[in-house]
Structure formats: C-alpha cells, structure tokens
Amino acid sequence: SDEGKMYVGVDYYPEHWPEERVDQDIKLMKEAGFNLVRMAEFAWVKMEPSEGVYDFGWLDKVIDKFQQQGIKVILGTPTAVMPAWLARKYPAAMATNDDGSQIDWGGRKNNCFSDGNYRRLSERIADEMSEHFANHPNVIGWQTDNELSGPICHCQRCLANFQDWLKAKYGTLDSLNAAWGNHFWGLTLHSWQEVTFPDCEGESDWGKIANPSLCLDWKRFHTALQVDFQRDQVKVIRKNCPEDFITHNMMGLHNNVDYYKLAEDLDFVSWDNYPVWNKPEIPYGSSMAADVMRGLKQKNFWIMEQTAGPVGWGEFARNTRPGELRKICYQQLAHGADAQVWFRWRTSTAGREQYWHGLLGHDGKAGRRYEEAAQVAREYDKLSEYLTETTVKSKVAILYDYENIWATQNQPGFAGNDVQKAISRYYNALFRKGINVDFLHPDYDFSGYDLVLAPGLHIVSKELAANIEAFVEAGGVFATEYRAAVKTPTNLVYDLTLPGLLREVLGIQIPEYEAMGDFTYRMEPIEPDFKSYDATMYSDWIIPEAAQTLIGYDEWHMKDYAALTRNQFGKGHAWYLGTIVDDPAFYDQLIARLLDDAEIEPEVELPAGVEASIRQDEQHQVLFLINHTENELSIKVPENKLELISDRKTNSDFQLKPFGVGVILLDD
Ligand code: GAL
C-alpha cells in the first residue's frame, strides 16, 4: 500500500444513506486513521437501473471525496444480487431447486450460474464498471461477486453443462462408467444425456441413494461452474484495469466450493471473519480459517469483512467486550492478514441486516467500538514497517482439501465423522503449543516440512502415496489416522487391505474395523508417556507389521490390536491413530510426541488461552501473543526485546491484560 502502510478500513454503503452524510462519514473514517473502503458489491440496480442503462455518477462523487482524503477504494462487482428487472425479463436467471421449483426473486445469491443471460449481464456489468473506473487513480482493486458458494441449481441448462463437463473430463463413456463403477445396480450409461442430477444431500425421501463417485464429481462440477463464472469477470477487469488487483471474499472454513480452484485466478485471497460471540472462548476456528486461507495460494491474505459488533439477522448476539474487537484483528494479523476491513461502517436501519452491527450504531455516532477500531488503525500504522514483507513460516504442514471433505460428508462411514473436526483436534493442540502451521493441498510439495499431518485423508492417489513414502524415507515425520487411503480419486474403494497404498510406510494392516455408536473402549498405553483414554466413535482393528504399538486396547477382544502406532521407515517415522479420543489432552500428548520426533520446539511456553504466532522475513522476526481470556496473564518471553506497541523492552515476564496483545520483535 502507500508508503508501505497496511490498509485498514471499512465496508461502506453510501447508497444506504442520504448523500449529505458522506462528508461526515469520511471525516470520521479519516480521524480513525482508515485508509481504505470497499463499496458497491450489492449496488447493481443503482449502477444499472434498467438494462443497458448505466449510472456511475453517484459512485464517482463518493470516490472523489475519498480521494481528497487519501482513502483508497476497492469495488465489488455487484453480481450477488440481481436487479428485479433482470429476474423479470430473464426468469431463467433464477436458480432451480432440486424439486424443480424455482427460487423467487427477493433475496440475494439466487442465480443460476449456467444461464446465458445472467452470465452475459454479469460479465457486462463487470466490464462497464471496470471500464468506467479504469482511470480512477483512487480505485486500487476489485472484489469479484460476494462470498461465492451457491445456490446449486437444478435446471436443464446446468444438467447439460454437467454432462459436457464430464465429457471433457472423461472423454469416453467407457472411462466414465469405469471411474464411477457404474456396473453396480446396472447404472451403466450409454449416452452422456443419460447422466441425471444426483441426490447426494439426502434431503428427499430417497435419501443419499446416488453413487458416491457421481456425487463427488457433482461437487467438483459446482466449483468449476463458479470458477468459470468468476473468470468471465476477472478477464474483463484485467483487460480494463491491468494495474489493479483482483480478490474475492471467501468464508474461511466454509466448504461448499473448492477454494483452491476459486483462488487460482485471483491475485490474493480475502476472507470474511465472523467469530461467534458466545461465551468468550478460544477462537481456534478463526486461526485455523486464517491458515487455510493463507494456504490456498501460499501467501498472505486480506480480511475483507471483520466483525464489528453484535451480529445476527433475526436475533443478535452479545456485545463485544473491551479489547475483544482489537484482539480478533491481531489474531488475523498474526496469521498473515495484510489488510483488514471492518464489516460494516454503520449499522443499517433497513433490510435483513438491521441487527448486524457495524462500528457505528444506527444513530451514526462514533462510540466505543469505533474508538477501538481507531486504536487498531493507529497501531497497525506503527507496526507496518516491521511487517510489510513478513509472512508465517512453518515447519508443520496439515494436508487439506475439499474432495476429502466432500467424500466424507457424503459417506461418513460412522456417525460424527467430519474431516474438518478431525483436523481441528490436531490443529488446536498445535495452537495450544504456539506452533505455526501451514495448510497445503495434498498435491502441493510438502517435502520441505519436518512434520506433516493428514487427518481425514480418505482419498489417496498413487502419486500422493509415493510422495508420502518419499517424505518419510528422507526423514520426515508423517501422521495420519482412521479411514486413511480407503478411496481412489474417483471415490471408489481400493481393493486392498487397509491402509492400502500407505500400508508399507505405516507398517500396519487393518483387516477389520467398526463404527462404535454409543460404546467406548478403554485404551491401554504401552509406552509409559501416554495416559489412559477412552476410544470413541470408531476403531480400526490394527495389526502392527513393522510398526511399534504405542497404545493398545484394554478390552478382552481387542488385546491383539493397536490403537496408536509408529513406524520407522527410512530415516523418518509414520504414525497412525485408529480411533477418536474425546479428551483434547490426548492430542496434546500426541502432538508433543510428534514434535519431539520432528525436533520442533515452541518459541514460548503458553498459559491456557494465549495464542502465539510468528511472522518473519529476512530482516525481522515478530512474535504475536494474544490473550483470549478475560484474565490478566503472564508469560515467559525472551528478555530485552522490543515490544512494538508500547515501545518498551521486555522483562522475562510479559504481562497480558484481559484480551491483551503483545507484539515482540525477536531480532537481535
Ligand atoms: C457476510 C456477507 C455480507 C453480510 C454479512 C453479515 O457473509 O458477505 O454481505 O451479509 O455476512 O450478514
């Protein structure tokens, strides 16, 4: 950004307020130290009041005013809400539900992504808009649409597109039939037109009866369609505004779209952070989401919408406590956010989001939440010089992809099986240790990491299995768990004894397994380091081959089977856990052992509720400490280092106020 300053700003809707209010809003933003606004992402009807008639004058005026105050602008293409005229003239633009009925116009995100008219008009408004603002020096970037994800349309056009997509992917019907295993139930297809809409969600009486292989491709197709839709816009914006960046506001751990694919056409990823305001608790999810978002392109991201107050549509949640808004910003900054935009500036007096509170109340007055946001802006301004080139560097990677999530959603195997939850058991334990983590697509190169975790690795390709073997052989530490390597990339089950392609590297075989419903097994630690815990939900009946058993079972029929194994393979170790443990303390122990194996040590020892993360580059190493509790806490830190917010040198004990943060420069 300008002079290397970080961007801090708000999502602003000038079209919601009387024109005369703008000057006062800008004045308040300026006083708060904001230097950026995002605008227009729902203003299609304002910019194109009737088909082919454009009006950008109102936005020109506002952008000029921002320019006078040195506040930059990002514009959103407005395609998440189609104007009423569009829906009326081109009814096929509205998405079709799975029962064949059509969504009624009147909300947002209700369009069919295949409809030719919708596609044409979406591309055209993006084109007109980016052409109009192309030469405006104050517009620096673009957001495509808003939170792409749905709906999943069931119209004939979408079906034809799905058939075409399958044809492009498989080439011949023989290869499609083989990839999907269509011999089962006699579902062999003899023409592409015979492909039908699958019932994968289990919403109808028929329940989830569709072929899992078909369901996985149906999900992939849904992403491909939206990537295509977004690409139309990206192309015209790049043509008109080659200097501007293009991003999209994603939803963190949301998993209906493959965000890796959606991110490919973007310069960087943005996301919308809405931690839940329940009882104050440790927001593991927001950290994990940040790391997932950073992982998509392996680079820093922006927060495009940051919770600014009590949220809710029908009912609202509690108010934020002093320091709470500030610390959720630092949490994102610490994980690689390079800019942060509050949602929203002022609380709307109209519409569905009347109770979704902004920095300012309905009354437009600047109060406590505004002051806290201003404090963040001042502090970020000061921190900028240390942070601009830094990012998070990790020795630990977690493999994360959408196909595993989808395949498991479609067929969990046992009640409660959820890939993101499985990952979070490990992630949260690493969080409690203050260890930086990178999320990687399984196809990405993970050979440079010391420890690679792959919970929920249901689908394993031959290439991935080979990469895992090579990684461990060369000295890496790898850990996976139950239901690993069951499926092929087209969601067929391998005709191998589990863990299939990973059997050799893990040094175990699993001839049998079971879902556990409401009973548990007592686990029996063989290695004295481990305490005794209960195995729940599922168990692999593991027979160790080359591997060593670290934990077994204390049940008469399970004595011969292992629950946790570790295998030396080449210079490294491969771990396997065959069950789920309720108690997070188990994962703390397991992570401690894995870190030991990988020779990774935490920078600081953390009291419960404090988060640590490090950003670094060639020059600087900056340690963030964030207190997620309402108690004052003290932490042992390296002495005589500069704390960048207070400009004070550290003692060995560092005090954190309730919801307090510390930013410590570790450089010598
Ligand atoms: C986000 C969305 C915003 C706003 C906000 C509050 O998901 O992008 O436009 O709706 O939620 O509901």
How do residues 498-529 score in pLDDT, each as one tens digit? 999 999 999 999 999 999 999 999 999 998 88
Whether 108 lines ligand 1, by a CB cut-off of 6 Å, is no
* Beta bridge partners of residue 540, listed in sequence order: 513
Q: Tell me what the mean pLDDT of segment 204-212 comes to.
A: 69
**Annotation says 305 is catalytic:** yes
First-to-last alpha carbon distance for the chain, in angstroms, is 28
Whole-number average pLDDT of the chain: 96
Alpha-carbon distances of 157 from 144, 184, 190, 524, rounded to whole Å: 23, 28, 20, 57
Percent of the chain with pLDDT over 90: 94
pLDDT band of 209, cuts 50, 70, 90: confident
Percent of the chain with pLDDT over 70: 98
Q: Tell me what the mean pLDDT of segment 303-309 comes to.
A: 97
Interval 395-453: pLDDT, tens? 999 999 999 999 999 999 999 999 999 999 999 999 999 999 999 999 999 999 999 99
- Report how far ligand 1's centroid is from the alpha carbon of 357 (Å): 11
Interval 534-549: pLDDT, tens? 999 999 999 999 999 9
Q: Is the pLDDT of residue 203 over 50?
A: no
**Annotation says 147 is catalytic:** yes
Q: Is the pLDDT of residue 199 over 90?
A: no
* Beta bridge partners of residue 50, listed in sequence order: 53
Q: Tell me what the mean pLDDT of segment 646-660 comes to.
A: 96
pLDDT at 202: 56
Give 16's DSSP letter.
G
**Residue 58: which of 17, 26, 11 has the closest Cα?**
17
- Omega cis (within 30) before 499: yes
Q: Tell me what the mean pLDDT of segment 572-591 comes to.
A: 98
Q: Tell me what the mean pLDDT of segment 368-388 comes to.
A: 97
**Residue 254: which of 235, 269, 265, 232 has the closest Cα?**
269
For residue 80, give the ligand 1 atom closest to its CA.
9
The Cα 461–Cα 510 span in angstroms is 19
pLDDT at 167: 98
Instruction: Give pTM, 2 decimals.
Output: 0.97
pLDDT at 580: 98
pLDDT at 4: 77
pLDDT at 2: 61
CB burial of residue 351 (10 Å; 0-12, 13-18, 19+):
exposed
pLDDT at 528: 84
The Cα 592–Cα 585 span in angstroms is 11
For residue 662, report the phi and psi dihedrals to the nearest 5 degrees: -135, 140
41, 48, 123, 147: which one is catalytic? 147
Give 429's DSSP letter.
H
Q: Tell me what the mean pLDDT of segment 128-157 comes to.
A: 96
* Beta bridge partners of residue 626, listed in sequence order: 611, 661
Whether 147 lines ligand 1, by a CB cut-off of 6 Å, is yes
For residue 147, give the ligand 1 atom closest to its CA.
8
Amino acid (1-letter code) at residue 595:
L
